[in-house]
A and B are shown apart, each in its own frame.
Chain A
Amino acid sequence: MNKIKSLSDLKKIREEQNRSIELRSKGEAAEKLVQVKVAMATCGIASGAKETMEFLMDSLEKRGVNAVVTQTGCMGYCYAEPTIEVTMPGKEPVVFGNVNTQKADEIIEKYIKGGALVDGIIPVNYETIQTKE
């Protein structure tokens, strides 16, 4: 296969292979999707949030989870980065700390797919770095 060098190359390849994309319709309500926010401030990025976010985007799609992955700023848990916030449809958001790719894998399998709680949850009333002594 020739190297993809331009958007027209990419368009052509997709047409040749007749690849279609399962588009999320604009009307699809966000509350029906699993929403994952990855904290991507300096503390998160320096701790490996980029790898965690790439893993989450790839793995959720591969495992057929209807999810949307976005980024957010610092949530104040700099000592527990990378941190992610997962909101299951109809449930309260849950924040997990120290989420490397291994932990992210566990969160997908056990919490998102299985509905079971896993280690690493940061309680909502927990101290942020601002209040921690």
Chain B
Amino acid sequence: MKELSLHLLDIAENSLTAGATEVSLGLRLTNAGVLFLKVQDNGRGIDVEKLRQIENPFFTTRTTRNVGLGVPLLKQHAEMTGGKVEIRSNPGKGTEITARFHIWHPDIQPLGDLEGCWMLLAVANNEANILLNCETPGGSFRIGSAEVKRELELEDLQDAEIRADLKALIRNNLEDIGLTNRKIAYKK
């Protein structure tokens, strides 16, 4: 996993597999340079026993393989910057995973293609509402796939021109609040 946005894509995929109809990708950057990545869903949730094992890379509920690397990788990358991962889940109601990063740490990964990740989730999961909430000291930005389809009177977001325009819309807003790939990832 080379970019922070790919972690969001990966965790959101778990949410959708867990039957979520609404998945929120959150990104909050504080004045102190702490970045919180959060995925919140209304899926089936995780029971206490499984929650205890979720950070174990050799535990998974899937039957296709023996490992579950998504959360352990996120945890490893957060801890590499002095951060951590917190998971709260309410069986039957949903799950919230928050990862804390310190953006001035040299080991932080670049933000990557956040708008592209949101777009893929929104296109490939037409029945779900995929939200993106970003907040920095420079402002905030929010978009949701259900709202986009309602406003533009579309049944889905498969059209290439719509996708390109929406990605530009998100990119422009992220730049306005200081969230560009380069700015968030401090590299010497």
Q: Mark B104-141, 1 if CB is under 8 A from A, else 0.
A: 00000000010011001101110000000000000000
Are A50 and B168 in touch, CB under 8 angstroms? no
For residue B147, which residue of chain A has the nearest CB?
A7
Would you give the 0/1 interface string for A32-56, flagging 1 where the beta carbon is closer than 8 Å to chain B? Answer: 0000001011110110001001100
CB distance from A52 to the nearest CB of B (A): 11
Name 12 extra pairs, CB < 8 A, besides A128-B64, A129-B65, A130-B66.
A5-B169, A8-B151, A21-B161, A21-B162, A43-B69, A45-B10, A50-B116, A50-B117, A71-B16, A71-B124, A71-B125, A130-B63
Shortest distance from the beta carbon of A78 to any chain B beta carbon, whole Å: 6
Residues of chain A within 8 A (CB-CB) of B124 are 38, 40, 53, 69-71
Instruction: Confirm or deny: B49 has a beta carbon within 8 angstroms of a beta carbon on chain A.
Output: no
Which interface class (under 10, 10 to 19, 20 to 34, 35 or more) fits B? Answer: 35 or more
Q: What is the minimal beta-carbon distance from B169 to any residue of chain A, in angstroms?
A: 5
Bitwise, A13-27 to B at CB < 8 A (1) or not (0) is: 110000101111010
In the assembled complex, the Cα of A57 lies from the Cα of B164 at a distance in Å of 12
Q: Is B21 in the interface zone, CB < 8 Å from A?
A: no
Spot the interface stretch: B33-41, B152-160, B178-186. B152-160
Chain A contact surface mostly = mixed
Would you give the shortest CB distance from B75 to chain A, in whole angstroms? 13
Q: What number of A residues sit within 8 Å (CB to CB) of B?
A: 43
**Structural contact, A10 and B117, CB atoms closer than 8 A:** no
A62 at the interface (CB under 8 A from B): yes
Chain B contact residues: helix, strand, loop or mixed: helix
Chain B residues contacting A45 (CB-CB under 8 Å) are 1, 6, 9-10, 13
Residue of A nearest to B9 (CB): A45
Task: Indicate if B166 sits at the interface (CB-CB under 8 A).
Answer: yes
| From B121, B147, B168, residue with most partner A Cβ within 10 Å | B168
| Nearest-neighbor residue (CB-CB) of B175 within chain A | A3
A82-B168 Cα distance, complex, nearest whole Å:
27
**Interface membership of B165, Cβ < 8 A:** yes
With A3-B168, A128-B64: A69-B160 Cβ-Cβ less than 8 Å: no
The reply to whether the CB of A73 lies closer than 8 angstroms to some CB of chain B is yes
